[in-house]
């Protein structure tokens, strides 16, 4: 892609965000969420433009109710500090350094501090390039970048371990527990998507050096003892990579917007209140097609707005992705009912015939129940 192409797209996105509005940085969480709902143009566009979706949702009267509580946040920090204390000995043990010899094994932990993100990115690259062979090197909160639709996303994994053989491992430290039977699959899935973004960013530094198995470090049961699980993120890598190339189609999404569309909240100079009328913002948001799914509730600030809209439009999406896929061409609750009642729909469509069969069975069951009721 040429520089001029990126340049004009960047200007277009800045205009959508509003002049004088700093872009919300794209982080690993945002990129991972894009991979979680690949079909949503609304999210793709607003994220690429760096629009503050939380503030938009609030102005629309549908604020997001997720996010980490301050309590969970500080507990997470305390756990991470524990994993990394004493020169990261615990982390080295979890990385599989032989327990018997762990006493003698230490790791280099280079200082990655530098003023500004560019400086930290440069320090990280230098540390990756200069890690001594034959010993462990642990990068504590390195800063990586990924070029996304012409803008730079800054990504900060909890740690990257450089093994004596030169391979890189992404380490993700989370405060949800790994229980006897394993950890919560939804949470592991979210961590895997996030880690995949870090692996992609490491691939951009040197392709093939990063392992596609990431180390997920969590408290064991409900204790504070760290334990770990290897998570294979190859699938998430493929999905995220595909998603990020699709993001370059942001230009098409932007081009389809009605003339004059803006997501600029137009804050007062003190930055305290929004002056853009909610109705205008509503129209702007609604002009971009969305793909609501219940998963949005835990990943996107606009979830309450999109859920309300999807319900109001009688969209089957609100019923979940599995059902939506099964209903195929029937995308509204109205069309589903019409098809079931034989009023509409192609009888050769398997979804339509299944619905009619279900409607007929229901009818039979009701008739049966009525008969029995009458006989009693």
Question: Which residues contact ligand SF4 (rule: CB under 6 A)?
Answer: 37, 40, 42-43, 290-292, 296, 300, 302-303, 306
Nearest distance from residue 322's CB to ligand SF4, in Å? 16
Nearest distance from residue 107's CB to ligand SF4, in Å? 40
**Helix residue spans in 98-173 (DSSP H):** 116-130
- Whichever of 43 and 84 has its CB closer to ligand SF4, that residue is 43
Distance from the Cα of residue 248 to its chain's centroid: 17
Contact 192, 231 (CB under 8 A): yes
- Whichever of 247 and 302 has its CB closer to ligand SF4, that residue is 302
Nearest distance from residue 195's CB to ligand SF4, in Å? 21
Contact 74, 325 (CB under 8 A): no
Nearest distance from residue 351's CB to ligand SF4, in Å? 22
Nearest distance from residue 249's CB to ligand SF4, in Å? 16
- Whichever of 37 and 137 has its CB closer to ligand SF4, that residue is 37
- Whichever of 302 and 330 has its CB closer to ligand SF4, that residue is 302
- Whichever of 162 and 300 has its CB closer to ligand SF4, that residue is 300
Residue 173's alpha-carbon distances to 6, 86, 198, in angstroms, are 35, 17, 13
Residue 42's nearest CA partner among 330, 366, 284 is: 284
Task: Report the C-alpha gap between 186 and 31 in whole angstroms.
Answer: 17
- Structure tokens that stand for 157 in this block: 């994994």
- DSSP one-letter code for 68: -
Residue 125's nearest CA partner among 83, 162, 164, 171 is: 162
């Amino acid at each position: 892609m040429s520089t001029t192409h990126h340049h004009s797209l960047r200007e277009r996105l800045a205009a959508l965000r509003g002049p004088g509005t700093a872009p919300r940085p794209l982080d690993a969480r945002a990129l991972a969420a894009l991979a979680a709902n690949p079909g949503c143009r609304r999210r793709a566009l607003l994220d690429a433009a760096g629009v503050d979706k939380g503030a938009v949702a609030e102005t629309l009267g549908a604020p997001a109710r997720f996010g980490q509580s301050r309590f969970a946040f500080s507990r997470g920090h305390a756990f991470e500090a524990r994993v990394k204390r004493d020169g990261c000995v615990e982390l080295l043990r979890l990385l599989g350094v032989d327990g018997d010899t762990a006493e003698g094994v230490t790791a280099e932990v280079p200082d990655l501090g530098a003023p500004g993100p560019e400086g930290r990115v440069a320090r990280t690259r230098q540390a990756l390039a200069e890690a001594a062979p034959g010993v462990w090197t642990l990068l504590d909160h390195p800063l990586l970048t990924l070029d996304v639709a012409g803008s730079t996303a800054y990504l900060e994994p909890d740690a990257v371990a450089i093994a004596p053989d030169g391979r890189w491992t992404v380490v993700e430290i989370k405060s949800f527990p790994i229980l006897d039977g394993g950890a919560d699959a939804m949470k592991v899935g979210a961590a895997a998507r996030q880690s995949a973004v870090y692996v992609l960013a490491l691939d951009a530094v040197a392709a093939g050096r990063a392992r596609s198995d990431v180390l997920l470090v969590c408290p064991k049961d409900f204790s504070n003892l760290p334990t770990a699980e290897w998570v294979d993120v190859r699938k998430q890598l493929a999905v995220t990579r595909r998603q990020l190339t699709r993001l370059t189609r942001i230009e098409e999404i932007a081009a389809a917007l009605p003339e004059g569309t803006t997501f600029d909240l137009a804050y007062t100079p003190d930055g305290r209140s929004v002056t853009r009328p909610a109705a205008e913002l509503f129209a702007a948001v609604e002009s971009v097609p969305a793909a609501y799914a219940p998963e949005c509730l835990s990943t996107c600030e606009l979830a309450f707005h999109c859920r309300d809209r999807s319900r109001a439009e009688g969209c089957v999406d609100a019923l979940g992705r599995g059902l939506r896929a099964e209903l195929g061409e029937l995308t509204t609750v109205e069309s589903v009912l019409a098809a079931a009642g034989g009023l509409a729909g192609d009888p050769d469509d398997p979804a339509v015939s299944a619905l009619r069969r279900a409607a007929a069975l229901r009818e039979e069951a009701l008739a049966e129940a009525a008969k029995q009721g009458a006989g009693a």
